[in-house]
Amino acid sequence: MTRMRAVGIFLTVLALGCAGIGGDGADRGGRRVLSRDSKVATEATREVQSRFARDLPFENARDFELANRGRIGGPEVLRVPASDGTMAWDMTAYAFVEGEAPDTVNPSLWRQAKLNNIHGLFEVTDDIYQVRGYDLSNISFIRGRTGWIVIDPLISMEAAGAALELVNETLGPRPVTAVIYSHSHADHFGGVRGLVSVEDVDAGRVRIVAPTGFMHHAVSENVMAGNVMTRRASYMFGRLLPAGPRGRVDSGLGKTTSVGRVSMIAPTDVISETGATLTIDGIEIVFQNTPNAEAPAEMMFYFPHRKAFYAAEEANAVLHNLYTLRGAQVRNGADWARWLDEAIDLFGGDFELVFGGHHWPRWGREEGIAYLASQRDLYKYIHDQTLHLANLGLTPLEIADRIELPKSISMQWFNRGYYGTLNHNSKATYQLYLGFFDGNPSNLNPHPPVEAGRRYVELAGGAAPLLTHARAAYGRGDYRWVAEVVKHLVFADPRNEQARWLLADALEQLGYQSESGPWRNFYLTGAQELRDGKSDFAGIVDTASPDLLARMPSEMLFDYLAISLDGEKAADAQITLDLSFTDLEERWLIEIENGVLRYHESRRVEDPTIALSIARADFVGVLSGQVGLPKLLREDRASLEGGLLAIARFGRLFRRFTPDFEIVMP
């Protein structure tokens, strides 16, 4: 059954019904028959599961220690009723998640599901508590002078109210004096009215704190596209599946979403800049503004009195989404990494605890920094190497198939792809910079999938019947269909001249027909290269020209350098470059580790691998190949410690991009 509940400005579609899926079957003669029953795992699936079980460090049980640490209590049977008598949240549905993984569940995901089954009230440190396992996200409680400061009040009023009830019953009743929304996703604000009333906020008895842009983005993401997003979220979070080894097991970020009433109260305090400090109910809080990473409006913050850093949803025990499959704005992995790196600079010298909106805390300064740093490099690697491969001419599907994380990143359990994946996050990064189009004109305006599918059904196997079919389509003037069909043969066998030329003819006709100049140019250039090969690139504009590089701010220059880094070659490299720009009086630390290039103006290290002093204009000249570093050293225009061999090893880790890659052929 599907119910629609209008809550304020929200239209939330909650799909509660589950359709049955049946299993294997055979008739009395032993012949295979189809059924609606669910199926057992095939031999191929079992082999995949075995490979995961063999290759990952399952002997490392550290996360189970962390997830159970500080547990005070909670109900053995956790079921949260909704006002209409249905269940807003039911953890009993996941009682089957115990023991060894069944062969219908990836053992790595099964491990995460067991961790996410651990629920109840936890003491994080003195005066800081979390309720976990009451919704997709965590809800945190800070003991203030007179009441509770609540962080991220879950999705639904019912779930948040049940969490507050558990806290007050266990720790003693206290009023809620403030609520902090860390960001603009509904699982971090939707339950607010289960904790406080609008009247209390209006009367000044409760403060609501949120990052700048919160209201705009909370509304635009959750309402403007809310209907289609909710429908897709029912897929993403398994809401239509029965819980079980052959159905819903876990979403990676948490079990699933609660299905109660979603609410919101507008902020009374808006945090617009990093370093802003508020004292709320006697507790000092220092904020870090972190937009355009996990959410378009987000902030992390620090509690100096307990040396506790709240990472919001910027650091989790999963690889998160740069594109969420329910649909949302694509997120910038470079920004995400930058905020985590900034957090280490701002708070890493002092904090003793990192906790957040999902999963379990990390205790101790060393472990907390290592956790944030590894997650930082995770998102930076995906960002930089997606663009690296794109600049070599690879398409989104090719990038997703090729990109691999360094083992120093991927073998950390908290970096595994339980929620986001390396595959679709690389496609998201491509989309962020280059959009949906992969540059191949055959893909610019093909028939829609249904029409294309009908035509594919008509095809016979092999090159000859494909070309016969395509020629007939060409004769009918169906050039879009020719482009769709023949591109597959061209990529399978680029030596087949008949295929290349027929495709060129079709693209040419489409170019002729095009009203758009860019469309025409794409089609006709593709036709030319299919016939004559790649064009002469001497006269094209170089967007990374030395002149442009020279005018970039240093930060942008290093961003470009990071994209140029070949992550596969650099996966095991550990290099520090102390770089001084003598003409600008700038000094930078460049680090290469985990296949990632990082840069800092304020950090220093003892005994860097290389120390180089050079004018920035000359540095750009070296990068662009206009001048050699040995010449600059001989002329005393640069000084180097560490040797030319070291700087040469550094240089070999980078690729110089050229625009001579194929588009219409492999």
Residues 601 and 587: beta-carbon distance below 8 Å: yes
- Confidence at residue 450, expressed as pLDDT on a 0 to 100 scale: 60
132 Cβ neighbours under 8 A, 6+ residues apart: 118, 119, 120, 122, 138, 359, 360
- Confidence at residue 599, expressed as pLDDT on a 0 to 100 scale: 97
Assign a CATH topology to domain 442-532.
1.25.40
Q: For the segment 229-283, what is each residue's pLDDT rounded down to a tens digit?
A: 776 777 778 887 778 888 788 999 999 999 888 888 999 999 999 999 999 999 9
| Average pLDDT for the chain | 87
Class level of CATH domain 60-223+236-310: alpha beta
CB atoms within 10 A of CB 539: 6
Structure tokens at 38: 């669910």
Cα–Cα distance between 380 and 335 in angstroms, integer? Answer: 9
- Confidence at residue 462, expressed as pLDDT on a 0 to 100 scale: 85
Phi, psi of 72 (to 5 degrees): -95, -40
For domain 546-651, the CATH architecture is 2-Layer Sandwich (3.30)
Cα–Cα distance between 302 and 280 in angstroms, integer? Answer: 13
- Residues (pLDDT < 50) of the chain are 1-37, 457, 539, 541
542-548 long-range contacts, Cβ below 8 Å, gap at least 24?
544/657, 545/624, 546/620, 546/621, 546/624, 546/626
Structure tokens at 236: 């993403």
Cα–Cα distance between 29 and 98 in angstroms, integer? Answer: 38
- Confidence at residue 289, expressed as pLDDT on a 0 to 100 scale: 98
Cα–Cα distance between 401 and 154 in angstroms, integer? Answer: 36
Q: For the segment 82-91, what is each residue's pLDDT rounded down to a tens digit?
A: 988 889 999 9
Per-domain residue ranges for the chain?
60-223+236-310, 442-532, 546-651
Record the pTM: 0.82
Cα–Cα distance between 322 and 330 in angstroms, integer? Answer: 6
Mark 299-324 as b/e (b = at least 16 C-beta within 10 Å): bbbbbeebebbbbbbbbbbbbbbbbb
310 Cβ neighbours under 8 A, 6+ residues apart: 140, 151, 182, 300, 301, 302, 303, 355, 356
